[in-house]
Structures are given as C-alpha cells and as structure tokens.
Amino acid sequence: MTAPTLATVSEKVRAGERLNAADALALFLEADILSIGQLANGVREKRHGNAAFFNKNMRLEVTNVCVASCLFCSFAKLEAHMPGAHTMSLAEAWHELEVRMDDPPGEIHVVNGLHPGLPFSYYEDLLSGFKRIKSDVHLKCFTAVEIHFFAQHYKMTVREVLERLVAAGLGSLPGGGAEIFAPEVRTRISDDKATGAEWLEVHRVAHAMGLKTNATMLYGHIETFEHRIDHLLQLRALQDETGGFQAFIPLAFHPDGNGMKNLPAPTAIDDLRTLSISRLVLDNFDHIKAYWVSSTPKIAQIALRFGADDLDGTIVHETIYHAAGSTSPQGLAYGELVRLIREAGRTPIERDTLYNIVREFAPNEVPEAAMKVRDRKANRHLAVVS
C-alpha cells in the first residue's frame, strides 16, 4: 500500500471517511499548513456553520498542594508548609463567587492539586456552597486525575466519588490531566498519578452516569507525533463507545518554571497544525476548543479558521498557565471575546457549559461592555491627538 499524501487524505475527508494513524502522520509531516487548515475548516463549517462559541466562566484553583510531581507543572507544591503552597478555606473559595455576583459567571471550572490532607467533605461542601450562592451555576470541577485520586485516597469507587460530588452539585468534568496517554511518555512526565487507562476509565464511568466531560492533550514537550496520534485515537475510540465527550482542547506546553524548562514552547504553526489535525481525526467530537490562555488570544482567533469552533470563556484569574509563563491575560472581557470572534468573520454565540445557547449576536450588535472598551480607547486616542 502506498503512503498517504495530502491529496489522498483530502479525498478521504471530502468523502466523509475516517482518518487512520498513517493519514494523521502524513498531515503532521506535511508542510502545507494552509491546506490542512482549509480541510479542517471545511469540517468545522459543516458542523457549526459560521458559529463560534464562548462562555462566561471563572477558573479557580483552591489548592496547589499536590502529591504528584509532574515534570511540566509549575503550579504544584509538594507539601502544605512549603513556601508558595496555598489552600483556600471554604469561605475564601465561596468569596471568589460572591464578589462576582453583580456579573456572575455561568460556569466555575475548578482544577486542583492532589492534596493528601483534606477531608472529602471539603470538596462536597465547596460545591454545595457555590450552589447556595448561585443555584444555577454550572460546576465543571476536578479532572479525572483528581477523581481517581479521591477514589484511592478516600477508599471509594470512582462511581461512588462521582455520585457524592453530583449530589453536592457537580455538573460535568473538565478535560485536564490527560497529558499524553502513551506509557513511555507518561511515566517520564507524570509517573505518580492516574495512568492513561485510568484517566479514560474515569471518563467512561462519568459518561455511563450521564455526565458530559471534555478531553485535553498536552503537546509540544517530549512526545512524538505518533504519541499525539495514539492519544487522539484512544479518545476517538472511547467517544465511539460512550458519546459523552463534548469538546477536545489541545493544550500547548509552557516551559517556564518547571522540570522541562530547557525545552522550547511549541510554535504557532505547531499550535494550528495540531488543532486542525485534531478536528480531522476526532470526527465524533462536536467541539474543538482553542484555549486562548494556552495558545494566546491571537492564535486562538486564527484557530477559528483552522478547525476550532469555541474559545472557552472569559475565565477570570487563571493561575496554572501563568505559573508556567503564559503571557496571555488572566481573563478576557466579554466584549473582547465577541470582538475576537467577529473580526475572525464568525458569529459569536454565548453558550452554557452544555452548549445550550445563552445569547446569539446579531451581525452588528455590540455588547455593552465592548462599547465601553471602544469608548475608552477612542477617548485615549483623542486625548493624545488634542
């Protein structure tokens, strides 16, 4: 059999045929990034037309104390008494939502370290406390790695952990902690937490309970293209089985302040290529997110023409990537997200976590907040001119 080429892969995509590992590798080795982007864009437009989704969310890391020592992590502290270690009291965590209640987030996305010294009730109370403050807030909390840790640490099954968290208000699982599934990479970059198979099993159980979840892949460190492809194919296989994934989010490795700081960060071309290939390989995933914190708002905006249909959200106060040297802002104003999407020629659609439409913008509609930014800029400009 002859090796796949851009032409044969393009033919398969146009015919709606599923890509295999060799097809994906041909795309990783292909120089013509614009053709790959165009193919992915075609798939994206077939699914979503001109729509580009975003949401109003808030990120919270309640503790960075973590028994795992991942080589890529610039955020975790091994022990609670180490300098820089922090664990919020429940009142402090709830306060983060309380102070935003004049313009509340629709979603709270919580990712933490694996803290060995907290009772399980801390996490249940955390969730139920958020719900007390805002009963309709969606709680997208705890990666599969955290859920796996809870099961081991508190001696429960994964299902029991999830059932108790759902009873406390959990709405869905975020996609973090997936990194790269292949054991030869995973054992080198994160040896002391859930394996790839365990990560997938947590999502399998969550899906069986009717929970929606996301999936990520941390790329651009020591893995090869073959490892990335293997990762995507394992996600695709689980999605065939359960249908429970909503979105896939490729995460660009940030090297500052961690055990792989000698490595360069992935380039813009790698970011766009990886995102486009993800769109093409994950033919059973509805959404591909360009996470602007990881890739920068500018690359995320371009990604809306390379296969992405979602920009995540306003986020507000991200810390994991900023610890690793991200130069993206810590949050984006609602109006700024709308502007990024519009100027990419897409139609901004505010969604909730489960992709129900919250607000669709008419072609020339400018959100209130964006007008304020524009007026401020205009005033500053006029002040300079006058």
Is there binding between residue 177 and ligand V47 (CB under 6 A)? yes
Chosen residue from 175, 250, 266, 367 binding ligand V47 by CB under 6 A? 175
Q: Which of 63, 216, 274, 278 binds ligand V47 (CB under 6 A)?
A: 216
Closest approach of ligand V47 to the CB of residue 71, in Å: 9
Q: Note the Cα 358 to chain centre separation in Å.
A: 20
Decide whether 235 or 370 has the Cβ nearer to ligand V47: 235
Q: Residue 252 CB, nearest distance to ligand V47 (Å)?
A: 6
- The verdict on 303 binding ligand V47 (CB under 6 A) reads no
Is 291 a binding residue for ligand V47 by CB under 6 A? The answer is yes
Closest CB to ligand V47 among residues 87, 112: 112
Q: Hey, which residues between 21 and 80 contact ligand V47 (CB under 6 A)?
A: 72-74
**Residue 113 engages ligand V47 in binding (rule: CB under 6 A):** no
Least Å distance between CB 177 and ligand V47?
Answer: 4
Contact between 296 and ligand V47 by CB under 6 A: the answer reads no
Q: Quick one: which of 106, 169, 171, 174 contacts ligand V47 (CB under 6 A)?
A: 174
Q: Is 176 in the site for ligand V47 (CB under 6 A)?
A: yes
Q: Which residue minimizes CB distance to ligand V47? A: 176
111 part of the interface to ligand V47, by CB under 6 A: yes
Between 18 and 317, CB nearer to ligand V47? 317
254 part of the interface to ligand V47, by CB under 6 A: yes
Residue 239 binds to ligand V47 (criterion: CB under 6 A):
no
User: According to the binding rule CB under 6 A, does residue 214 interact with ligand V47?
Assistant: yes
The closest of 88, 65, 87, 86 to 76, measured between CA atoms, is 65
Q: Which stretch binds ligand V47 (CB under 6 A): 29-37, 121-129, 170-178, 276-284?
A: 170-178
Q: CB of 318: closest distance to ligand V47 in angstroms?
A: 8
Does position 251 interact with ligand V47 (CB under 6 A)? The reply is: yes
Which residues in 310-369 contact ligand V47 (CB under 6 A)? 312, 320, 324
Distances (CA, A) of 105 to 58, 101, 130, 352: 6, 8, 11, 10
Site residues (vs ligand V47, CB under 6 A)? 72-74, 111, 143, 174-177, 179, 214, 216, 218, 249, 251, 253-254, 258, 291, 312, 320, 324
